[in-house]
Amino acid sequence: MKFRKKPRQGGTWNLIVLGLISCFSDISSEMVYPLIPLYLTAAFGATPAMIGIVEGFAESVAGLLKVFSGYLSDRFQQKKALAFGGYAAGVLYKIALLFSGSWTGILGARVIDRFGKGVRTAPRDVMVAESAGESGMGQAFGIHKMLDMAGSAIGILLAFILVRRVGSDGYRTVFAVSIIPISFSLLLFFLIHEKKGRHEVAPRERFWRNISRLDGRFKLYLTVTFLFTLGNSSNSFLLLRASDIGFDDSDTILLYFLYNVTASALAIPCGKLSDKIGRKRVLVWGYLTFSLVYFGFALCNTKLMMALIFVIYGGYTAMTAGAERTFIVEAAPPQLIGTMLGLHSMLAGIALLPASVIAGLLWDGIGAAAPFIFGGGLSLLSAVILVLKLGDAAGMLKD
């Protein structure tokens, strides 16, 4: 595809502001996220299978919505408004957590959170792509991911400090404090320089008319995404695994902090690497790293080994998060970039429900190592398919 070779005016400013929006949003989200499986277990006696249902269902809701928000951002060009609405759902999520009195209440709160993510992700990613030049697309997504993961790390550190101060029964205190940073995130939207002018509404049928133009290898990549995600269950299981080998609640939060710091530190170098050697190579190495991580979780029996695995897991996230989005942007038809970003996320989201349910059932039925062996095997298979069957993004559209 032909994407603009230079970022549009104000692109660098928008890229930084969008990164800071994600940063503050993730401070809020990650103050809460690592506590959810611990809270479900401690307060409501939830089993791994129940946690799998909660996380899988919530993530699938997000995935289903991403394709529609991407389509709407392509058709109406109201990316800023859609993204703002998605981030605003984060406030409602924290309020719902405060008033939840059962595991089903937590499920409802998580659905609200993932609803917001489903609405905001595709239009935000299109705005990031518009803020970058063609030669630096990977770097642009790397910068955004760096700020995003930095926010996650800060949020986790704040959760650790608060849990240490108020104790492991002070979950609701953390939920309440987490409303503050998401409010800052919403205020930052007023600093985005949105392109002025009359927006033309695209014809409704454009998506269906152009979907057939996608190269077969692009469709194969979407299939591989679905296959890989079937083994990539919720991070809640990683936190449960850490607890399973002896980490207490606050130390488990620190492990998640270590993962996010690593991902943030490596995001820009990995983005630049994908600009240099190609998206596919970075994605393949990312899938192989994920396989190593999951087999490590299956075999891990010491705290030191667990800490090392979380560091390597951060490397996987840095390698894949920016490269996969850049791959989609470069391979999609110009008028369908948002839709294709949403479609990719939707397929991953749909797969997360069976992935998390399968992981929970394998854990309950066979043992704690089973879901990680399953996930590691599917990741290896996905990497092999990418190596043998998939080309790079350039030239993947049919003439």
Q: Per-residue DSSP letters for 140-202? A: HHHHHHHHHHHHHHHHHHHHHHHHHHH-TT-HHHHHHHTHHHHHHHHHGGGG--PPPSPPPPP
Every domain of the chain and the residues it spans: 11-193+204-389
- The gap from C-alpha 279 to its chain's centroid, in whole angstroms, comes to 18
Distances (CA, A) of 146 to 227, 262, 271, 321: 27, 10, 10, 10
User: Which pLDDT score, from 0 to 100, does residue 5 have?
Assistant: 43
Q: Which residues are registered as beta bridge partners of 105?
A: none
Confidence class of residue 330 from pLDDT cuts 50, 70 and 90? Answer: confident
Task: For residue range 140-187, list pLDDT tens digits in order.
Answer: 777 888 888 888 889 888 888 887 777 656 788 888 889 999 999 999
Model confidence at 69: pLDDT above 80: no
Distance CA 109, CA 101 (A): 11
User: Which pLDDT score, from 0 to 100, does residue 63 have?
Assistant: 62
Neighbours of 198 (CB within 10 A): 5
Model confidence at 255: pLDDT above 80: yes
Tell me which range, 47-61, 229-243, 383-397, is most confidently predicted by mean pLDDT: 229-243
Distance CA 50, CA 111 (A): 15
User: Which pLDDT score, from 0 to 100, does residue 322 have?
Assistant: 77
Mean pLDDT throughout 291-303? 91
First-last CA distance in the chain: 10
Q: Where are the alpha helices (DSSP H) in the chain?
A: 11-32, 36-44, 48-76, 79-98, 103-130, 137-166, 171-177, 179-187, 206-210, 216-230, 236-244, 249-277, 279-299, 303-331, 337-365, 370-389
User: Which pLDDT score, from 0 to 100, does residue 1 have?
Assistant: 39
Task: For residue range 5-41, list pLDDT tens digits in order.
Answer: 444 555 678 888 988 998 999 899 888 887 887 788 7
Task: Calculate helix-pair angle for 236-244, 370-389, nearest 10 degrees.
Answer: 140
Model confidence at 374: pLDDT above 90: yes
Confidence class of residue 290 from pLDDT cuts 50, 70 and 90? Answer: very high
Mean pLDDT throughout 42-47? 76
In the chain, what percentage of residues exceed pLDDT 70?
81
Short-list 381, 18, 382, CA closest to 191? 18
User: Which pLDDT score, from 0 to 100, does residue 311 have?
Assistant: 93
Distance CA 87, CA 169 (A): 28
Q: Residues near 11 by Cβ (< 8 Å), separated by ≥ 6? A: 130, 131, 132, 133
**Average predicted confidence (pLDDT) for the chain:** 79
User: Which pLDDT score, from 0 to 100, does residue 376 have?
Assistant: 92
Tokens of 185: 């995130």
Mean pLDDT throughout 74-92? 81
User: Which pLDDT score, from 0 to 100, does residue 205 have?
Assistant: 46
Contact criterion met (CB below 8 Å) for 274 and 326: yes
Confidence class of residue 395 from pLDDT cuts 50, 70 and 90? Answer: very low
Short-list 165, 353, 148, 159, CA closest to 261? 148
Q: Residues near 362 by Cβ (< 8 Å), separated by ≥ 6? A: 370, 371, 374
Q: Residues near 291 by Cβ (< 8 Å), separated by ≥ 6? A: 376, 377, 379, 380, 383
- Phi and psi angles of residue 305, each rounded to the nearest 5 degrees, phi first: -65, -40
- Phi and psi angles of residue 214, each rounded to the nearest 5 degrees, phi first: -65, 135
Short-list 72, 64, 109, CA closest to 90? 109
Task: For residue range 199-235, list pLDDT tens digits in order.
Answer: 444 444 454 455 556 667 777 888 888 898 888 877 7
Residue identified by tokens 């993961």 is 149
Mean pLDDT throughout 79-92? 87
User: Which pLDDT score, from 0 to 100, does residue 377 have?
Assistant: 93
CATH classification (class only), 11-193+204-389: mainly alpha
User: Which pLDDT score, from 0 to 100, does residue 212 have?
Assistant: 59
